Homo-oligomer: A and B are copies of this chain.
Amino acid sequence: MNSQSEEDYLKAIYHLEMDYDSISTNSVADYLNMKPSSVTDMLKKLADKKYINYQKYKGSSLTKKGKLIALSIIRKHRLWETFLVDKLGFGWDQVHLIAEQLEHIKSEELIENLDDFLGNPKYDPHGDPIPNKEGKIEKMNQKLLVELKIQQEGIITGVKKGTASLLSYLDKEKIKLGDSIKVIEVLEFDGTFIVEINNRKLTFSEKICQNLLLETYD
């Protein structure tokens, strides 16, 4: 049985591996708001358990075993977030901290029953894919709307940092994270995008398109 702390580290390394090739001790420390010396200790422990490949001064990477554990925690996190939003009426921006706690509850059966209860969702309220029981997760590509070609589709997953005002605009337009978006036309003159969301045609300025994050499957 793994401790909550161990699980947090494995999850952190998993997320960091999405964005960077080699995972430094300091990057883990930053991610978890911990001191590098504490991280070194835990990395050794995780290496002893064969959850990571760790070489002094050289960085770390998850082993197959460690990756499976990380994915099972992410699965739990995303299923609980789905529960909190779909069933308990939380907003998608309120659920992270609660799910951080719930993801550590130990019970295989609990999470499989929860999965069924939620209708075996494929994506969580933020539009992120939910790994299956075996640790399989859909590969997604993070893109900006402005990068999409005509007729291409994606799922809205967020906005770039520092553009909270865009969020409230989307909210006003009744556009939620997880909504599907398709490019219909791009005006050459000013880069305006004409897109379709929820069967509605909408016009987005180039600036909006440069700040709207999507995930695509290609």
A residues 68-124 near B (Cβ < 8 Å) are 84, 87-90, 94, 97-98, 101-102, 105-107, 109-110, 113-114, 117
CB contacts (< 8 Å) of A98 on chain B: these are 105, 107, 110
CB contacts (< 8 Å) of A90 on chain B: these are 109, 113
- Cβ-closest chain B residue relative to A88: B113
Cβ of A168 to closest chain B Cβ, rounded Å: 22
Main secondary structure of the interface of A (DSSP, over half): helix
Cβ of A101 to closest chain B Cβ, rounded Å: 5
Q: Is the CB of A110 within 8 A of B87?
A: no
What is the total number of copies of this protein in its complex? 2
Q: Is the CB of A88 within 8 A of B107?
A: no
Complex formed: what's the CA distance from A110 to B84 in Å? Answer: 8
Complex formed: what's the CA distance from A106 to B84 in Å? Answer: 14
- Cβ-closest chain B residue relative to A89: B113
Q: Is the CB of B88 within 8 A of A117?
A: yes
Complex formed: what's the CA distance from A105 to B83 in Å? Answer: 15
Cβ of A7 to closest chain B Cβ, rounded Å: 14
Complex formed: what's the CA distance from A87 to B111 in Å? Answer: 13
- Cβ-closest chain B residue relative to A105: B101
**Residue in B87, B101, B110 whose CB lies within 8 Å of A106:** B101
CB contacts (< 8 Å) of A109 on chain B: these are 90, 94
Complex formed: what's the CA distance from A136 to B193 in Å? Answer: 58
Complex formed: what's the CA distance from A89 to B109 in Å? Answer: 11
1/0 per residue, CB under 8 A from B, across A46-86: the answer is 00000000000000000000000000000000000000100
Complex formed: what's the CA distance from A102 to B101 in Å? Answer: 9
List 15 contacting pairs A-B, 8 Å CB cutoff, sorted by A: A84-B110, A84-B113, A87-B117, A88-B113, A88-B114, A88-B117, A89-B113, A90-B113, A94-B109, A97-B107, A98-B105, A98-B107, A101-B105, A101-B106, A102-B102
Supply 12 further A-B pairs (C-beta < 8 A) apart from A87-B117, A89-B117, A102-B102: A84-B110, A84-B113, A88-B110, A88-B114, A88-B117, A90-B109, A94-B109, A97-B107, A98-B105, A98-B107, A98-B110, A101-B107
